[in-house]
Amino acid sequence: MNDPKNSIAFLATTVLLFATAHWAYAADPAAAAVHGNKGNVLAQAAKYDEAIVEFTKAIELSPSDPRLYNDRGRVYRAMAKYTEAMADFDKSVSLAPKSETGYIERGQNQVMQNKFEEALPDYNKAVELAPTNPICYDRRGFAFYNLHRYDDAVKDYTASIEKKPDNPLTFNRRADAYYAMNQFAPALADIEAALKLKPDDFDTTQKLAVVRAKLATPKPVVQNTPPSTPEPPPAPMDPRIKIGIGAGALLVLIIIIVLVSRRKSRGY
């Protein structure tokens, strides 16, 4: 029979070796980066299932890297797997609570489900953590816009533009907010700025035409004179009246003839 002490020592050694091997496997950021890069290439090619496999391998190799969870979460989100995406963004936030990235991505996951109110706490935290990051303001501005809080949207888009004045999308979005408030002049200025940054963009060009039409001086309304109504023809005379008039005229004529005849007979 084997010595129990030797068996325990062997078991302990085996567990230690296994744990050491697993630790070495799990803490291999270089290998994780290889899989992560493959995952990004596959994601850009819209090969989402394969990308998930690569990111999962990367996470197994480097489970404490929040970037990998953000990457895999974005792919899940692109696949409309919002529950899985939220789990990855939650993990990213727990690993890097002082980084705005996880909060931005988690907020965007809510926005993709039209949960704009639910997205605001994460966007607010992102702005708090990274007040110089234009993306934080741009994303929160989009949530405000969809909540019909147009003034807040304009403020956030303005902050984003101040920090990154070469993004035509933000100018377009601020123009949308101005348009929603019937402020067509500043909307036009933003659309023109967007076209300078991205000339001949079809959607922006269409917006330009719409806003210019809103700003065009209305033409005076010409009042068309209605045609005069013709007077109705007189009503036909009653035949009895006609007979009476005729008889009266005949009687007058007879009297005149009689008078004339008498004068002639008297030699007048």
Half-sphere exposure of 163 (CA within 13 A, CB side): 15
Q: Mean pLDDT of all residues in the chain?
A: 84
Lowest mean pLDDT among 36-40, 51-55, 110-114, 245-249: 245-249
List alpha helices for 96-236, DSSP H.
Answer: 100-111, 116-129, 134-146, 150-163, 168-180, 184-197, 202-215
Q: What is the mean pLDDT of residues 21-45?
A: 80
Q: What is the DSSP letter of 149?
A: -
Query: How crowded is residue 213: how many other Cβ atoms within 10 Å of its Cβ?
Result: 9
**Would you say residue 15 has pLDDT above 60?**
no
Q: How confident is the model at residue 2 (pLDDT cuts 50, 70, 90)?
A: very low
**Gap between the terminal Cα atoms of the chain:** 187
Q: How confident is the model at residue 14 (pLDDT cuts 50, 70, 90)?
A: very low
**Would you say residue 255 has pLDDT above 90?**
no
pTM of structure = 0.71
Q: What is the structure's pLDDT at 229?
A: 61
In whole angstroms, give the CA distance from residue 70 to residue 108.
12
In whole angstroms, give the CA distance from residue 31 to residue 61.
7
Q: How confident is the model at residue 207 (pLDDT cuts 50, 70, 90)?
A: very high
Q: How confident is the model at residue 203 (pLDDT cuts 50, 70, 90)?
A: very high
Residue 106's identity, in one-letter code, is: R
**Would you say residue 77 has pLDDT above 70?**
yes
Count, residues in the chain? 268
In whole angstroms, give the CA distance from residue 160 to residue 154.
10
